[in-house]
Structure 1
Amino acid sequence: MRNIHSVEKNQAALGSDFVAFEDAEAVLKIHSAALEDEEAVVEIHTAALGYDLAAFEDEEAVVEIHTAALGYDLAAFEDEKAVVEIHTAALEGEEAVVEIRIAALVDEQTALELYIAAPGDERAAVDIHIVAPRKDLESKISFKWTILRYLHMMR
């Protein structure tokens, strides 16, 4: 599922190390430093999922890509309860990360609530906002730190 070469190429452009992506704190630092080049940040994540960056200009297309990849009906994502059930069932797998991203496309608050209610991969928390980037860069940083604060409080 991962396009490693594309990821390494994009990371090299940002001066980051591929190994750093195993460390949530390091990932946060890399993204914070790369926020001036929003396209590069988005490219890293789309390449990691094996998707074309162009598809991410269309929010509906992104949701369709992710739901189809997981074998879910797009209509289910109009029902918040259904989304929570799907996410809960996928906690142990890669699907959980994708589910959080899907939720983030709809509503950042929903994404945060889903993550807090059913925590999975810390890296996903750092990544939530990347798939659906906001125009306000300060809000991006604030949203990431909010999620990380919740994670530390839960420990």
Structure 2
Amino acid sequence: MRKVVFKDVDGKTKKLMLCQAEGGVYLFGYYSLQDSSADWDHFFCTMEDAIECCFEDYGINEEDWIIIADQPKNCQQDFIIPTRIEGREAGKPAFGQLQQFIKGQWVDYIIAEKCMSFDGLTDDQRLLTTGLVFEYEKALNGDKAKTIKILTALNFE
């Protein structure tokens, strides 16, 4: 299970993600809004411990979290869209060279300049930049609560 929240929690961290892993839970923190690798992480024994920490330290309530899909095998857990290091699946990783799974195929992905706010971004740009575009499209097919949660998190009018 993975969850994400978009909220300026300390004047620097713009987004948090919780990721259930073997043996515990990672809390990833990001200094920008776009879908990218985390800037820092913490490890907890249980999801309950991680959620409690996020509430106590960052004021994140349970209802603030957006549940997102788990990553496929060999993908980076701290990205929202399935993202992998090129060649990792073949045992020959090319570190620094990323690929994302878009429309059924792996395409090269270069992390753009850091996005620090949604100011000036269109609705589509917000969905694409944050990596929530596919989660939003899935939610449109019957999960009204998740659709609203995503739109609210991305400051849609």
- Which structure shows the higher strand fraction? 2
TM-score (norm 2): 0.26
- Which structure shows the higher helix fraction? 1
Q: Which has the higher contact order (CA 8 A, sep 6+)?
A: 1
Q: Which has the larger radius of gyration?
A: 2
